[in-house]
Amino acid sequence: MNSDDETKKLLSDIRSYLRIAAAISSKQTAARVLDSYEKALTYTKLDGTTSTYKIADATGVPQRTVLNWADEYVRYGLASPPNDFYQSHRALFSLSELGIDLTTLRKRKRPEDGSSPTSGTTLNAQGDVPA
């Protein structure tokens, strides 16, 4: 193996170790932040290229809420903001790395009129509709 290959292998090993350590230390925070089906679903859509508008269309969550949540994920170290390499927010971990099972999360309550859970309402700091 040449020196360049050894360097690439070492960097790959370091990257893997750092991801595992970061995911382990982020699990408790992620469980608190990604506490609903919709929040976890929007998190899975943050690939660094998909806009919050497209994520809103795909998930049924209002675009402003998707953006607020994406910023929240950044504050808690679960995602990176747009930068020179990624035009949109990017999730740093998969739900599985964070120990979150999407199918076990509660869905947010929808109004009885069938509209989205946030239409015509203001969200609180956690992105939830106030009671």
CA distances from 56 to 10, 11, 38, 62, 107 (A): 39, 36, 10, 5, 16
SS3 124: coil
DSSP letter at 90 equals E
Q: pTM for this structure?
A: 0.74
91 SS3 class: strand
What tens digit of pLDDT does each residue of 86-131 get?
A: 999 999 999 999 999 999 998 877 655 455 554 433 444 444 444 4
In this prediction, residue 77 has a pLDDT band, given cuts at 50, 70 and 90, of very high
- Mean pLDDT across the stretch 26-36? 93
Class assignment of domain 3-104?
mainly alpha
The per-residue pLDDT for 110 is: 61
Q: Give the model's pLDDT for residue 23.
A: 80
Average pLDDT over residues 10-34: 88
Domain boundaries, the chain: 3-104
Residue 8 pLDDT exceeds 90: yes
